[in-house]
Amino acid sequence: MADNIELIMRFHPVGGEDVALLCSDFAGPDEALEAVARALDERRGLILSRARYNREAGENGVVINLANVVSVRVSTTDSDTTGQYL
């Protein structure tokens, strides 16, 4: 099993500003997007057990209510032009 890498997951909610998390729950962007898609299909929240809001913060568990999210972008670098959208 490969080591998980740190991904930037950017969630765009129905109302309000984007929320970006640093997450090391997944081995790569494809696995992260698959988990998001599965949570959407099952109409449940996305549970992240190793997420941070910024580089200085400690890891926390986070539950994302995907019913309030319009789009999700996953990338290994934080840029407006990189990453995969769901």
pLDDT single digits (tens) 3-47: 788 999 999 999 888 889 999 999 999 999 999 999 999 999 999
- Quote the domain boundaries for residue 50: 7-80
Q: How many domains does the chain contain in total?
A: 1
Confidence of residue 1 (pLDDT cuts 50, 70, 90): very low
| Domain-located, residue 33 | yes
Structure tokens at 81: 């032009």
| Domain-located, residue 2 | no
